[in-house]
Structure 1
């Protein structure tokens, strides 16, 4: 058989294949989260002590936990929690980062120095450690978890937005906008924001998978959603005590975290390759 006999369809290269696969799988996860109540065969919080520690079977395909709750239903319900938290964190972080980054880059001077020193200090801390410290101060719960991760995650967006603003602010386009009487706010919103949005979208798509991991890690440590909420990290924390006798308690939530993070990372990689002009040019030469 000749080498290169199997080829991708015309117009579809490896980079596009990653994007399509990531989009399809992430879309499936979103649909599962949206229609979770219709998919769940049992109430995810209902305790039936007579059915505890049932291994995977035809009735309970993922088994039951130490309280007799159906793990499949809890994993499905957990997708709503993880995805909603990740999306909220991404939106809050991106919004705050864009505002600070564009303002800092456009105005420059002492304001730029102040904002960037704050960003440098925050970036010196590992994300999970900083979020853990903030969660310890604010307390447990989903709202505090969102605040804790957003407090550190916005810095990534601020750096990207500032970099684009520094490149663009000395262009003839911006000089012409100033000459016709546009104020700073209008210039930032009308001229700078469209220049940075593609990079921000790429970063947002790449961040979702990582934020799901952060949320699950903090919930595992008891800083996120509290029982009986079916959060994936909390489910793994509950199941770790019975790993020898009932490994399915932690196995299936762990697989859900891994698959979700991998799926959204594929989506982010695909969007980055598609939107980055340099990568698109390289793809045409393949």
Structure 2
């Protein structure tokens, strides 16, 4: 019995020898994936345990303590109303992450369903989907969002409805193209020939194979939606006071940018770190899924 054989037995099935399976080695070495997962994990934990992480009530005002610099009592200082900036950033993370995830959910489901139908059946179904996509893409995204929010009003409900109406396009395009390619594969034709219904073929066979692209798209879309929500809040059209929100905090500190820069810079840094974390996570997931294919 050779040394290589003993090493293979000790490593166990599927480990690829002492060095491990090549995909597992690449995953362990994926600094992008690890960095993104760590950053996003820290942000999610801070948001989930905001009552424990925050040092003050985020909406309580203390006008006698307004515009204080960072100190032991207020780690990132206070705003013009005497509210603790650190506590507001932590609670704003909870708000913006919640809105970002929920605002992606509905358009993702709608876009995936329409993309599956268009790519699988083709023909008039694909033409209708393409017409809807092209019509949506004819207008700049932010122009549509601003128009919809203006018509529907401000607040979380309007944000969810607005993104449900305009953010499904990328999912339809990506899933439609991927599904159209799968629809001509032999394993799909065999499933049809075996008597399986169209819905079962799409849900049980086509959709799982499209999940890698969908997962990456969803993670990237969460970043995009969070940035859009923060932009709307900065303009006064998103999350409304007194609910903490990064966009509103940046807007509140704009008047004090030269004298009290921490009021705007602190929530801006939180937004930047969160966006970088999700972007790294999406890139890392894409690399791993690409290696596994």
Report the TM-score, using the length of structure 2 for normalisation: 0.87
Which deviates more from structure 2 when the two are superposed, residues 188-197 or residues 32-41? Answer: 188-197
Out of 124, 141, 154, the position equivalent to 1:127 is 141
| Structure 1 outlier segments of 4+, above 4 Å | 12-15
Within the alignment, does 1:148 sit opposite 2:162 as a pair? yes
What corresponds to 1:69 in structure 2? 83
What corresponds to 2:206 in structure 1? 192
What corresponds to 1:233 in structure 2? 247
Within the alignment, does 1:36 sit opposite 2:50 as a pair? yes
Report the Cα distance in structure 2 between the residues aligned to 1:114 and 1:93, rounded to whole angstroms: 17
What corresponds to 1:249 in structure 2? 263
Report the Cα distance in structure 1 between the residues aligned to 2:141 and 2:290, rounded to whole angstroms: 26
Which deviates more from structure 2 when the two are superposed, residues 12-21 or residues 192-201? Answer: 12-21
Seen in structure 2, the aligned counterparts of structure 1 residues 110 and 212 have a Cα distance that, compared at 3 Å, is: same
CA deviation after TM superposition for structure 1 residue 231, in Å: 0.5
Seen in structure 2, the aligned counterparts of structure 1 residues 90 and 49 have a Cα distance that, compared at 3 Å, is: same
The unaligned stretches of length 5 or more in structure 1 are 1-9, 282-286
Report the Cα distance in structure 2 between the residues aligned to 1:139 and 1:156, rounded to whole angstroms: 25
Within the alignment, does 1:99 sit opposite 2:113 as a pair? yes
Report the Cα distance in structure 1 between the residues aligned to 2:140 and 2:52, rounded to whole angstroms: 39
Report the Cα distance in structure 1 between the residues aligned to 2:155 and 2:191, rounded to whole angstroms: 46
Report the count of equivalent residues: 270
> Could you tell me whether the CA contact under 8 Å between 1:123 and 1:152 is conserved in 2?
no
Out of 31, 39, 43, the position equivalent to 1:17 is 31
User: Deviation per CA, 1:135-155, whole angstroms, max 9, x where unpaired?
Assistant: 111100012112222322211
Report the Cα distance in structure 1 between the residues aligned to 2:206 and 2:197, rounded to whole angstroms: 13
- 1:81-120 alignment, distance < 5 Å: 81-120=95-134
Within the alignment, does 1:168 sit opposite 2:182 as a pair? yes
Report the TM-score, using the length of structure 1 for normalisation: 0.89
Seen in structure 2, the aligned counterparts of structure 1 residues 199 and 13 have a Cα distance that, compared at 3 Å, is: closer
CA deviation after TM superposition for structure 1 residue 93, in Å: 2.2
CA deviation after TM superposition for structure 1 residue 249, in Å: 1.3
Bigger radius of gyration among the two: 2
How large is the RMSD of aligned CA atoms in angstroms? 1.8
Report the Cα distance in structure 2 between the residues aligned to 1:89 and 1:136, rounded to whole angstroms: 17
